[in-house]
Structure 1
């Protein structure tokens, strides 16, 4: 059994934890330097009363996460099995779907264990560890996952924390059978080529599933679509599948050309009729304006922070300018799909970026659709930062 240490926290954190707030914020502790990743903490209020058990897992959100408010509950294989089994029940509809075979089965604090996510790809499971602390529980969590899904094909992992040169596995394979890649999975009937063995990214961001479906089903038909920060072209695939007249995918990464080409090909879409451009998005906006290009739909899904040779982009500071660039090449009555995964601000702030951009562009607009995370990305109402995704469909009028 893993050692547990008693620790008193400050009043403000104690009150939050009693309400069920899942994150252990640094400023709630008197001293954190001696806390070792993976340690189980028996958290007590300033008066010494037990308020919960958590673990030390240092990451940008804090120094760890609350696990249980039951003092007698052991943090063992059975604990993780209960959490995973409960999470799986909430995804029954996905497991029973014929047209979607890629989704999230465990979403961190939303399913009761902050710092841990598990994604499903047609029989394969991908575990993402977000701190050295949660990684310390690897064997217990693997044992629990195998008990919960005994018929799995294979398990892969991604260490999304600084390993300082340790854990240099070749392809992130953990156990079961190795996959044959690309692995073809379905999302609402369309195909994605997935690589679980090739670096941090696998080929698609599952959290945009509902947005892609909306684009395909209601917005794309007959439209000229620009997809910026396009990664592997997932939005472009759904736009083309929805009858877009043409898609243009723009991304600075050189491999975006081959990756986007592959995604079109596995869906039987003629690549020659689409444009795939390897270029800095900000340079492309200048190019499009100079060439008097315009689009019926512009999709903006930038990273929260990005740096190229010429530009540094922060969504918290620069999204208004990005929107103005998009407005300048959007047709009258066209649509801008504006998205951000920055957890440091909410939808109200995001909408203020939109209002400012259109005002400074002397344009009117209406917001037609709003999206946050799909329901397989469960969140805690007591941890708003966990519901990070904000997407707006904005009609320029």
Structure 2
């Protein structure tokens, strides 16, 4: 059986993703998902004219030769690339985690998706400030949240809320514990010419913030719930595998009648079937129903002619470990 080297695998991945590239090189996409496309030490994302190479090797040195191979080869294959940033996952070096520029001089500062600009700060933390796997969700938001009031919890840099503003939502409130993250969302507003209402960017602990909304009797047509895998504060714990139902139940009193909860769970080791079990617990009282699932793009799942690996857990009925469910809610008394 012939040996397939890394650049051959990446070449195959590029060809499969040709329809995701745009002429102006403003888009964002996962260029190569090594976990499912043949080399689990390497993942490559593209943000406009910057490639971000993630070294997942453990120890990190075991992936350095592969990283060097990618950094040397990729600009010859995609000559419009202006820079390559390398992020190292398994290290205690925060700078290496956040990213080291290995090619070029300037990192991309924005991407354009479905006609909307999203600001970037690619070295802000070990992630890259915009989660590309929720692209299809942003498209759904654009199509469905016009004239709605929206609360985006665990907003991070606010891309889902920015999509809601672009959709024509009546009001969008973005909440996160980290002001720096929300400031990226404000930059996205500026890029699109959207007004910035400071009161709609709220820096607060999730548990405290929800209680404030309850006391004010504020209600929303749509609440987006996209928590981190695990987070603990003095006021509560988020654990996607253990207490996700508690998080969802906490936002239910904020829902308008015939409201929508967008429930996102990206716990890698939580199977799709297990996630459905969690959601069915929420639905047991008859006031919440599962309306639909939103798939993740094939650049994350791999294509029929590029995929050689299997997911750690079976995500079915979802197509990826980032599991997105749209829930419909009713209020008592209606």
TM class by smaller structure: 0.7 to 0.9
CA contact (8 A) 1:103 1:119 kept: yes
- In the alignment, which of 258, 261, 264 is matched to residue 189 of structure 2? 264
CA contact (8 A) 1:81 1:147 kept: no
**Alignment match, 1:21:** none
CA contact (8 A) 1:116 1:130 kept: yes
Q: Does 1:189 align with 2:115?
A: yes
Post-superposition offset of 1:196: 2.6
Post-superposition offset of 1:145: 2.1
**Alignment match, 2:317:** none
Counterpart-to-counterpart distance in 1, 2:13 and 2:56: 18
CA contact (8 A) 2:136 2:295 kept: no
**Alignment match, 1:289:** 214
Post-superposition offset of 1:167: 7.2
- In the alignment, which of 190, 199, 213 is matched to residue 125 of structure 2? 199
Farther-moved stretch of structure 1 (306-315 vs 82-91): 306-315
Alignment of 1:295-314 (within 5 A): 295-314=220-239
Q: Does 1:391 align with 2:314?
A: no
For structure 1, list consecutive stretches of 5 or more residues without a partner in the other structure: 1-69
Instruction: Kindly provide the CA deviation profile for residues 39-94 of structure 1, in whole angstroms up to 9, marking residues without a partner as x.
Output: xxxxxxxxxxxxxxxxxxxxxxxxxxxxxxx4x63x7xxx1221111010011001
Counterpart-to-counterpart distance in 1, 2:94 and 2:30: 27
- Identify which of structures 1 and 2 has the higher relative contact order when contacts are C-alpha pairs closer than 8 Å and 6+ apart: 2
Q: TM-score, normalised by structure 2?
A: 0.87
Deviant stretches of 4+, over 6 Å: none
Post-superposition offset of 1:211: 0.4
For structure 2, list consecutive stretches of 5 or more residues without a partner in the other structure: 314-319
- In the alignment, which of 174, 177, 184 is matched to residue 102 of structure 2? 174
Counterpart-to-counterpart distance in 2, 1:311 and 1:173: 37
RMSD value, Cα: 2.3
Instruction: Kindly provide the CA deviation profile for residues 15-48 of structure 1, in whole angstroms up to 9, marking residues without a partner as x.
Output: xxxxxxxxxxxxxxxxxxxxxxxxxxxxxxxxxx
Instruction: Kindly provide the CA deviation profile for residues 142-171 of structure 1, in whole angstroms up to 9, marking residues without a partner as x.
Output: 233234223421111111112x44975996
**Alignment match, 1:143:** 72
Counterpart-to-counterpart distance in 2, 1:350 and 1:206: 21
**Alignment match, 2:316:** none
- In the alignment, which of 375, 379, 382 is matched to residue 298 of structure 2? 375
**Alignment match, 1:242:** 167
Larger C-alpha radius of gyration, 1 or 2? Answer: 1
How many pairs align? 317
Relative to structure 1, is the Cα distance of residues 364 and 247 closer, same or farther in structure 2, using a 3 angstrom cutoff? same
